[in-house]
Amino acid sequence: ECGVEVSARRDCGSPGITQAECLQRGCCFDSTTVNAIMCFYKRGGLSRSRN
């Protein structure tokens, strides 16, 4: 569900968001691609779940 193409990523956090904060929002985090959105919504649309 986090295998979203870099060009299709929709920002789920503010710049500088940590991995922990991103995951708490129910989003995906990937810092391996330079100049790409690191915290982004899962595939299939916006995730609004907050566990």
pLDDT at 22: 98
pLDDT exceeds cutoff 80 at 42: yes
CA–CA distance from 49 to each of 8, 17, 35 (Å)? 20, 18, 27
Q: Which tokens hold the place of 49?
A: 């779940």
Provide mean pLDDT across the span 18-45: 94
pLDDT at 44: 81
Which 3 state secondary structure label does DSSP give 19? Answer: helix
Q: What are the pLDDT digits (tens) for 5-29?
A: 999 999 999 989 999 999 999 999 9
pLDDT at 50: 46
pLDDT at 45: 65
Q: What is the DSSP letter of 39?
A: E
Q: Which tokens hold the place of 5?
A: 């193409």
CA–CA distance from 31 to each of 40, 49, 50, 51 (Å)? 11, 22, 22, 23
The domains of the chain, with CATH numbers, are 6-40 (4.10.110.10)
